[in-house]
Amino acid sequence: MQYKRSFLSSLLLAACHAATSPRDAPKADIAANVTVLFSAAVAGALEPCGCSPDQRGGVYRAAALIDRVRAEVPGALYLEGGDLLFESAKIPDVKRDQAKWKAETLAATAKLERLTALSIGERDRAEGDDFLSKQLLPIAATTNLYDAGGVRVGVATGAEASTLAAQNKALRDGHARLTLLVAHASVSRAQALASAAAAAGFDAILAGHADDPQEQQNVAIAQTAIPVFAVEGRGQSLLRLDFVLPPSGSPGAILLGGEAARAEMLKALDVRIAAEREKLPSAKEPLRSLVAAKIADLEKRRAMAASAKEEVPVDRVTVRATFTRLEKGLPESAAAHALIDAYNNKVTMYNIEAAKALPAKCQVEEKDAATYVGAQSCRECHADAYAFWKTTPHANAYAKLEKVNKQFSLDCVGCHVVGWQRASGPCRIDKPKALGLADVQCESCHGAGSLHVADPPAHLEDVDVPQSRCMQCHEAENSPHFNFATYRPRIIGPGHGQPMVAPKP
């Protein structure tokens, strides 16, 4: 493509220019500190939808945190590992316009946050290279040199073992004191690359790809030849890496645990000790002696961990990793909020206008197929179940969207109404309430109910609803603490999995 020949080539030239800048190469005869902020696999996520109080994420929280770190460390670098702009590499036509506006908003917030470099992933190219180039993001070439507060840092991209030696040599020849491989690869692939990257002279690997960004967790692996890091997907966490560079020494960073890691270890040991102590009163010999020995061993390990002093090598690069989960209560950037508010308003106006060309209900293609009738029809025979449902959060699901002005967002509406854009369900985003199909109703879980209403008790799609049905909406990002075993009882009540209320005498 022309874009690959011209646009990327110009970026490579810019990277080379950084290496041959008139500035003197930073001196390597003194110790130095470098801070790197890392995010990856954001996958088009601007902010939590707001339907659950424990959701994480929000570029306004990330922006505020980046600003705070840069106030503390003015030379801090901010790297994106790829798959920033779009949720998937293929965008459904019905969501294309909204997805593009979201990508443009993400690009604008990245520039607001003074992004150092983006390593391109396949999700960033979902709308083609021309769209990507128009976002004017600082896209990383295969080798790049950056000034981190007077310390030259080299960043290589890619995930091919055969090119690593040449890439690192180019960076070290450009006087890079720290070299990082931002690999657009999964954690397992990055681990497999670690030995080759260490042999090539890199200090650490940042893994930038996740097959399912919602499932990607925060990872810091010290057991490989060089440390491997990955950050929680969908913009739910931000990783801070603080490197200390010795005046001289061998490449390959040593991951230090730090006080946070020590506290986590002590907490885990306390939990295990308490669990073993609970066994003692009822334990009989020889089990009692075994349990007592186990407790003594755990207490010894805890004492050693509490008193241990971390050994910091003087001739190796060291790094401490801090993962910050972007949770409610953290500071938020007003400038980033303004960008998102503008996006939300644009989406609302567009989707309302576009809905006018659609029928209120989606067409039913199959003859004699069940259609959606709404919870009011169920109420006639299931009065107790209906009354109990009205007390559950499911009965207020649409109101939650209205509260955060997301009822006209294609990203959100499907989990807050019945049968969204399915046969006989709402086709227009402005019609669920008028059709009596707003909220998570009976048919959201049990399937379209017209045939059941006409001929009970037959024709229900699912009487005992499987966990997989719930997890279509209660997935990791939108419902971080969802547990089928503990959530299901919350929607079980009289006439709905429990005996009906006895009539009053």
Q: pLDDT grade, residue 500 (50/70/90)?
A: low
Residue 2: what pLDDT?
36
* SS3 (DSSP) at 119: coil
Tokens of 228: 């491997």
Continuous segment of H or E residues that includes residue 305: helix 287-307
What is the C-alpha to C-alpha distance for residues 464 and 446, in angstroms, rounded to an integer? 8
Q: What is the reported pTM?
A: 0.76
What is the C-alpha to C-alpha distance for residues 484 and 463, in angstroms, rounded to an integer? 16
pLDDT (average), residues 454-469:
82
pLDDT, one tens digit per residue, over 191-232 is: 999 999 999 999 999 999 999 998 888 999 988 999 999 999
pLDDT, one tens digit per residue, over 372-416 is: 999 999 998 999 889 999 999 899 989 988 888 888 888 889 999
Residue 7: what pLDDT?
38
pLDDT, one tens digit per residue, over 309-329 is: 667 778 899 999 999 999 989
The percentage of residues in the chain with a pLDDT greater than 90, rounded to a whole number, is 55
Mean pLDDT of the chain: 87
pLDDT (average), residues 330-357:
93
Residue 78: what pLDDT?
98
Between 98-102, 213-217, 384-388, 480-484, the lowest mean confidence (pLDDT) is in 480-484
φ, ψ for residue 358 (rounded to 5)? -110, 155
What is the C-alpha to C-alpha distance for residues 451 and 303, in angstroms, rounded to an integer? 67
Name the pairing type of β-strands 250-256 and 316-325. parallel
